[in-house]
Every structure is written in C-alpha cells, then in structure tokens.
Amino acid sequence: MDAGCLQSDAHRTLDELDGLSSEGWIPTLYLAYPHIGLGDKDRAFELLDKAYEERSGLLVYLKVEPIFDSLRDDPRFDDLLRRMDLSDRPVVA
C-alpha cells in the first residue's frame, strides 16, 4: 500500500472517529492513532497526554504496540513513559 493510500485511510478514519465521537464516547487514545499514521506527532502527543490525564488503561500498551514505533525516538514518548512509571531509562536531572 502506498503512502497516499495510507494517508487517505487515515483521513477517512479521522472523519469516522469525529462522527462517532459526536454520537458517544470514543477513547482518546483511539483518536491519536490516525494522527500517528499521518505523522502529526504534535497532535498525537496532545491526545496521548489527554489520555494520560484521563487515566486511560489502554496506555499500558505504549511500550509494545507497533503503532507507537514512530514516536519512540521523541523525548515526549520517554516523558510519558516516565510519568506512567513505565520507563526503563534513568531520570536525568
């Protein structure tokens, strides 16, 4: 599947999630997925932070779900893992 097709799928998913969220509750983490796929890291981290504030139990999969691979090299990912007490890396002061 080419990048254009994947982007089209991600935009379609965003539209569907927007429609569903107006009808009922959608886990915030699910709203982050299409943004990750589109490479919109800033919006993805905004939603991941919101999911953290909501105490989403789905965040326990951050370290193992491949969808988060593109975020792992971002310092915000390590920060989120540290806040969740899931980081293997030492805290640098």
Closest CA to 28 of 65, 57, 69: 57
Q: State the pLDDT at residue 54.
A: 93
The whole-number pLDDT of residue 34 equals 87
Structural domain of 38: 3-83
State percent of the chain over pLDDT 70. Answer: 81
Q: Which pLDDT belongs to residue 17?
A: 73
User: Does residue 63 lie within any of the structural domains?
Assistant: yes
* Residue 88: inside a domain: no
Ranges under pLDDT 50 in the chain: 93
* Number of domains, the chain: 1
Is 29 inside any structural domain?
Answer: yes
Answer whether residue 75 is part of any domain: yes
Whether 15 maps to a domain, the answer reads yes
Percent of the chain exceeding pLDDT 90 equals 53
Residue 43 within any structural domain of the chain: yes
49 in a structural domain: yes
CA triple 22-29-67, angle to 5 deg:
130
Average pLDDT of the chain is 84
Q: Would residue 44 count as lying in a domain?
A: yes
